[in-house]
């Protein structure tokens, strides 16, 4: 779906944000891009929908170079939800906010209405349909921004820090929602610092540091590698930290999820209880 071929990117300010990144994201994958502030995460994902074009190298989306297609055309395929919802929201009501892109993409008015209702319901925003986005809390505004992108049903959804300001329940909904989108064949890319959220989702994790990808693989494998994680300025999940403190009992140290932790401990104690 997305092929990044030896991409370098330098901002006009002279900051070299990407220094030779090559990566392939297959159709229907769920990827979390993680790493230190300023590592180049947002710069990388902005290449995926053509908001930024490589200084050197090439990005292919559905086998077409992002240089050969307009951002507007790409946006239909690759939806981007910004980190800060205030960079995205501008309408008088939540409903108008969602309607804006749909009308721009030429959806009929009946379809616009239907999709608004669907997206509001999905993100638990139905009661705010006629409310101004700026009356809402930070977490709610974030959901409005997400709803407005999901409404046009892009094949790839990029979420820049989707869990900021979201409470636990909303995160759980978001997680289920991503799983569901994935099951429908959508490709989901998130940029996040939220280690516990990633531990619950278990996606493919790409760690970035100083404009390069320094690790790429299953969350369970990457997040429990204390050395590599420290290089990316990340703290391992709380469950991993607990089990690192219990390593001398011969318990596994590659656990990230609370349910697997429970099972490992119960199994260990049961086994020991046997004569």
Partner 1 sequence: MAIIETKNLTYTYPGGSKPSIQDVSIAIERGEFVVLTGPSGCGKTTLCRCFNGLIPHFYSGKLEGDLTVADLKIANHPIHEIARHVGLVFQNPENQLFALSAEKDVAFGLENLGMPRDEIRKRVDWALQMTGIEELRERAPHELSGGQQQRVAIACVLAMQPDVMVLDEPTSFLDPMGAQKIFEVINELNQKLGITVILVEHRLDLASKYADHVIIMDEGKVILDGEPREVFKSQTARLIGVGIPKATRLWQMLMEDGIRLKKTPVNSEEAAKLLREVLKA
Say which residues have a Cβ less than 8 Å from residue 177's Cβ, sequence separation at least 6: 122
What Å distances lie between residue 161 and 19, 142, 205, 260, CA to CA? 22, 10, 14, 26
In whole angstroms, the minimum distance from the beta carbon of 112 to partner 1 comes to: 27
Position 37 contacts partner 1 (CB under 8 A) = yes
User: Please, which residue, 44 or 195, has the CB nearer to partner 1?
Assistant: 195
Residue with tokens 């979420």: 159
In whole angstroms, the minimum distance from the beta carbon of 249 to partner 1 comes to: 5
Position 144 contacts partner 1 (CB under 8 A) = no
Q: Report d(CA 161, CA 151) in Å as an integer.
A: 19
Count the neighbouring beta carbons within 10 Å of the beta carbon of residue 21. Answer: 24
User: Please, which residue, 69 or 265, has the CB nearer to partner 1?
Assistant: 265
Position 137 contacts partner 1 (CB under 8 A) = yes
Residue with tokens 């180049």: 40
> Helix 138-150 vs helix 94-104: angle between axes, to the nearest 10 degrees?
30
Strands 30-35 and 204-209 come out as parallel
Region of 106 (left: φ > 0; alpha: ψ -120 to 50; beta: rest) is left
Report 253-272 residues binding partner 1 (CB under 8 A): 258-259, 261-262, 265-266, 268-269
Backbone angles phi, psi at 82, to 5 degrees: -70, 160
Position 158 contacts partner 1 (CB under 8 A) = no
In this chain, which stretch among 65-73, 106-114, 167-175, 176-184 interacts with partner 1, using CB under 8 A? 167-175
Secondary structure (3-state) at 8: strand
Which positions from 66 to 95 touch partner 1 by CB under 8 A, shown as an x/- string?
Answer: -----------------xx-x---------
In whole angstroms, the minimum distance from the beta carbon of 80 to partner 1 comes to: 16
Q: Report d(CA 255, CA 259) in Å as an integer.
A: 9
Position 169 contacts partner 1 (CB under 8 A) = yes
User: Please, which residue, 68 or 270, has the CB nearer to partner 1?
Assistant: 270
The one among 17, 161, 205, 206 contacting partner 1 by CB under 8 A: 161
Position 210 contacts partner 1 (CB under 8 A) = no
Query: Residue numbers of the site for partner 1 (CB under 8 A)?
Result: 13, 35-38, 83-84, 86, 135-140, 161, 164-172, 193-196, 230, 232-235, 237-239, 241-246, 249, 251, 258-259, 261-262, 265-266, 268-269
């Amino acid at each position: 779906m997305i092929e990044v071929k030896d991409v370098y990117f330098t901002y006009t300010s002279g900051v070299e944000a990407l220094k030779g990144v090559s990566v392939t994201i297959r159709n229907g994958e769920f990827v979390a891009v993680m790493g230190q502030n300023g590592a180049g995460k947002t710069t990388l994902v902005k290449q995926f929908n053509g908001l930024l074009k490589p200084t050197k190298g090439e990005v292919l989306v559905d086998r077409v170079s992002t240089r050969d297609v307009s951002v507007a055309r790409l946006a239909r395929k690759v939806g981007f939800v910004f980190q800060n919802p205030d960079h995205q929201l501008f309408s008088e009501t939540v409903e108008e906010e969602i309607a804006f892109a749909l009308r721009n993409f030429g959806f009929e008015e009946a379809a616009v209405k239907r999709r608004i209702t669907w997206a509001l319901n999905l993100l638990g925003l139905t009661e705010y349909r006629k409310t101004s986005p700026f009356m809402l809390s930070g977490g709610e505004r974030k959901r409005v921004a997400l709803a407005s992108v999901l409404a046009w049903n892009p094949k790839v959804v990029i979420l820049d820090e989707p869990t900021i300001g979201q409470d636990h329940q909303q995160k759980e909904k978001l997680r289920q929602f991503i799983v569901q989108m994935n099951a429908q064949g959508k490709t989901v890319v998130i940029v996040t610092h939220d280690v516990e959220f990633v531990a619950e989702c278990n996606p493919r994790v790409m760690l970035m540091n100083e404009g390069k990808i320094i690790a790429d693989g299953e969350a369970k494998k990457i997040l429990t590698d204390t050395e590599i994680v420290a290089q990316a300025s990340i703290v391992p999940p709380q469950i991993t930290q607990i089990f690192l403190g219990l390593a001398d009992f011969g318990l596994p140290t590659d656990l990230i999820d609370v349910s697997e932790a429970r099972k490992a401990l119960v199994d260990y104690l049961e086994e020991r209880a046997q004569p």
